[in-house]
Structure 1
Amino acid sequence: MKIQNVAVAATTLTAALVLTACGGGEPAGSAGPAPVPTSAAAPAHNQADIAFAQGMIPHHQQAVEMAELAADRAGSDDVRRLATAIGRAQAPEIARMRGFLAAWGAPESGGMPGMDHGSTGHGTAHGAGHRGMAGMMTDEQLRGLEQARGAGFDRMFLEMMIRHHEGAVQMARAELADGTNAEAKALARQVVDAQQAEITEMRELLG
């Protein structure tokens, strides 16, 4: 009798385990997409957002470098003032984009050996590594700007910075069209608005 009770109990336990395993099939199936929270977080940014930040960082760095040259080379106070404003606006944007990349777990691929904040070394690294980027100046163009003074510097700076800004606007518009990250797109809109206004001002200074 006891043996029968044990057998019945064992059978019941086995059936319960089988039912549990079968019933757990659906939760396990839904647990398959369990990475959904992680995947769901991923759409907060896409490859266009990453490319925007990675490309715009060295682009902004070169603009800041060019702007710094105006301090002791510009002949016009207006050019010097504009250059100062450009540097002050773009340096914090570089920090923001680095923050984006860090939050996304993406590398700052624009960073290369030798890319420091020295005048010539910085320009050389940017010119050599990013020649194909919209609006970027070559090493030779940067050397020419470094050697210019007074009115000659002013004209060269304005003409080069207009092209540089036009490139940044093009890159920012690509982010607005293809990016998904709200913060990156807000920065791209800010770049378009601010740099288009500066392009207008620089054209007026050129006469």
Structure 2
Amino acid sequence: MKMFEMLQKFISPKVSGLIKVLSIGVLLSLSACDEEDEGLKIQPHDENKMMSIMHAMMDKMHTMQMNEDPDIVFARMMIMHHQGAINMSDEVLTSGDNAAIKAIATKIKTDQQKEIQDLQSFINSYQPDQSPDSKFNMELMDSMEKSDRQSDLQVITGDTDHDFAQLMIVHHQSAIENARAVQEHGTSTFIKNMAHMMVDAQMMEIKELQTWLLANSNMSGGH
């Protein structure tokens, strides 16, 4: 306030009053921002259970050997990817409290458990008809790297339902990219059909999760 008192000596009373009003407005705005910031709870990624599950899945996928037929590579990778979604669903079913999110998680778990069985049966019976495809493998690797970065950019709150919705969107986006890649590079009709179903189902689930986040985002303090 010393600066304000000094300025009063050189300005008219009317201008002085205006400056005082503006100063009070700025202080009130800053106070409101502080209150909003206090309402935003962010949890470090290393302390977050859902993020830990996501990272464990990605670490396992990065160790996979990709020197096989593209359809086989896709099937092996999606088994790991699906298991990550199942583990995330188990976490929200155990620790979450939102009925709508639990319903989505239950559907994801049921569908992806069935798809893991189908993918494993495919691996056991399929006779590969292609050599390893470096372009296909690169597309999968690029998708994994993109998913890694995207998940690390998410605002994680420690609210299980919110974090599940945020990260499952990223998870599904990666699966869709992988499915579209195998539709282009694979030859198995079974895998192409499964990839098509994955894209349709997971695009629908992304919309459901986005709708839920818009209505229940922790950013706005709602649940």
Please indicate the TM-score interval, normalised by the length of the shorter structure. Answer: 0.5 to 0.7
* Corresponding residue number in structure 2 for 1:38: none
Whether the 8 Å CA contact 1:135–1:165 is kept in 2: the answer is: no
The superposition leaves residues 78-114 of structure 1 with CA deviations (integer Å, 9 ceiling, x where unpaired) of 00110001000000100111111111268xxxxxxxx
* Corresponding residue number in structure 2 for 1:180: 187
CA distance in 1, matches of 2:146, 2:76: 15
Runs of at least 4 residues of structure 1 off by over 2 A?
Answer: 132-138
Q: Does 2:210 match 1:199?
A: no
Which residues of structure 1 form unaligned runs of 5+? 1-45, 107-129
Residues 160 and 74 of structure 1: CA distance in aligned 2, closer, same or farther (over 3 Å): same
Q: 39, 48, 55: which is aligned to 2:77?
A: 55
Q: TM-score scaled to structure 1, two decimals?
A: 0.57
% identical aligned pairs:
32
Whether the 8 Å CA contact 1:67–1:83 is kept in 2: the answer is: yes
Q: Does 2:81 match 1:76?
A: no
Residues 135 and 187 of structure 1: CA distance in aligned 2, closer, same or farther (over 3 Å): farther
* Corresponding residue number in structure 2 for 1:97: 119
The superposition leaves residues 15-49 of structure 1 with CA deviations (integer Å, 9 ceiling, x where unpaired) of xxxxxxxxxxxxxxxxxxxxxxxxxxxxxxx8221
CA distance in 1, matches of 2:200, 2:125: 25
* Deviation (angstroms), 1:206: 0.2
CA distance in 1, matches of 2:146, 2:196: 18
Which residues of structure 2 form unaligned runs of 5+? 1-67, 129-140, 215-223
* Corresponding residue number in structure 1 for 2:57: none
Q: TM-score scaled to structure 2, two decimals?
A: 0.53
* Deviation (angstroms), 1:133: 2.9
Q: Does 2:155 match 1:133?
A: no
CA distance in 2, matches of 1:181, 1:80: 34
CA distance in 2, matches of 1:64, 1:137: 18
Q: 160, 177, 182: which is aligned to 1:170?
A: 177
CA distance in 2, matches of 1:99, 1:203: 33
Instruction: Tell me the C-alpha RMSD between the 2 structures.
Output: 2.8
Q: Does 2:197 match 1:190?
A: yes
CA distance in 1, matches of 2:84, 2:122: 20
* Deviation (angstroms), 1:134: 6.0
CA distance in 2, matches of 1:135, 1:65: 21
Q: How does 1:151-170 map to 2 (within 5 A)?
A: 152-170=159-177
Residues 205 and 75 of structure 1: CA distance in aligned 2, closer, same or farther (over 3 Å): same
CA distance in 2, matches of 1:135, 1:172: 15
CA distance in 2, matches of 1:92, 1:135: 27
Q: How many residues align?
A: 131
Q: How does 1:27-46 map to 2 (within 5 A)?
A: none
